[in-house]
Amino acid sequence: MIRTTSNRVLPEAAARSALACIAASLLACAPGGGHSIGLEFAAKYQGHTPTCTSPMADDLEMTDLRFFVSDVEVGNGSNWSAASGQRVHLLDFENGEGSCTNGTPAMHSEIALNLPKADVSALRFTLGVPFDLNHGDPLLAEPPLDEPAMFWHWRSGHKFLRVGVKNRGTRWHAHLGSVGCLGPIAAIESCERPNRRTITLTGFTPGDTIVINLDVLLADINTRDDASAHCLSEADNPACKQLGRNLGIDFSTGTSAGETSVFSLAPN
């Protein structure tokens, strides 16, 4: 967002340049006089980029991969500044083709990142939708929160992450999101277990790609023999327990627990 710092009436030239700045900000103008770049996300599995039409491995296909990222900040590890004009972003790696049923044609792997003038060496974001945006009226939701596949109707919020695979024909999926949310829709009072995870990536150089490592995300989850054990963010579900260890979330408390390498940086 552009801020004019004074209440005084601006001279015409200054006003004109402010207008120019506002116009330019659509492309590049950022707070603190920095600039805007694209922040690319990529999905990887064993070094390859899985898609709906190219298998992850023999007999292992991706059926879905969508997640919300919010409150993106950049800094040097101790000082942080907001790095996105938009609070929530939907990252979407499926296009509804091939093994991805129930998908949508649109994909989305890049978000606009505002860089301050100060040195940036770290980036952090929340995997999930902030509480105050997570429980609005789904009928009145604005993009990117209006995608029905990311609604979590019965839990009165949004899925933060949905990932699915087909392992030798057997489908398995996981939905991450806040649970135990009580109150009328659009007026949810609280959630028992928020299940959000802050991801901090140090050693970030603008231009780096954020990789979601499906090897790590799905590590040690039996997606083939026990397909009935889909994980819907339950505390006592074995698949969730392992997914929680992989993501650094304790599903029994809904809070962060330990480190996670699900997200990492890849140099340009």
Partner 1 sequence: MKRIVTLCVLVVLGFCWLAFANRPVAAPYAWNLPPGFPEPTVPANNPMSAVKVQLGRHLFFDPRLSLTRMISCADCHQQKFAFSDPRILSVGATGQFTRRNSMTLTNTAYNASYDWANPNVTTLEHQMLTPLFGEDPIEMGLSGRREIVMAELAADPLYQRLFPAAFRRDDDPINWVNSMRAIASFSRTIISGDAPYDKYVRGDAEAMTESAIRGFELFLSEKLECFHCHGGFNFTDASTHERDREPPSVFHNTGLYNIDGLGAYPPGNEGLFSLSGKPGDMGRFKAPTLRNIALTAPYMHDGSIATLDGVIDHYQRGGRLVENGDLAGDGMLNPVKSEFVNGFELSAEERADLLAFLNALTDEDLANNPDLSNPRPELSGKEEIHDPR
Per CB under 8 A, does 138 bind partner 1? yes
10 vs 149, beta carbon nearer partner 1 = 149
184, 259, 267, 268: residue in contact with partner 1 (rule CB under 8 A) = 184
108 vs 230, beta carbon nearer partner 1 = 230
Number of residues that bind partner 1 (CB under 8 A): 30
Cβ 141 to partner 1 shortest distance, Å: 10
235, 250, 256, 257: residue in contact with partner 1 (rule CB under 8 A) = 235
Per CB under 8 A, does 193 bind partner 1? yes
85, 130, 180, 206: residue in contact with partner 1 (rule CB under 8 A) = 180
- 46-54, 177-185, 195-203, 255-263 -> range binding partner 1 (CB under 8 A): 177-185
Per CB under 8 A, contacts with partner 1 among 143-162 are 148-149, 151, 153-156
Cβ 46 to partner 1 shortest distance, Å: 27
7 vs 228, beta carbon nearer partner 1 = 228
3-class SS string, the chain:
CCCCCCCCCCCHHHHHHHHHHHHHHCCCECHHHCEEEEEEEEEEECCECCCCCCCCECCEEEEEEEEEEEEEEEECCCCEEECCCCCEEEEECCCCCCCCCCCCCCCECEEEEEECCCCCCEEEEEECCCHHHHCCCHHHCCCCCCCHHHEEHHHCEECCEEEEEEECCEEEEEEECCEEEECCCCCCCEEEECCCEEEEEECCCCCCEEEEEHHHHCCCCCCCCCCCCCECCCCCCHHHHHHHHHHCEECCCCEECCCCCCEEEECC
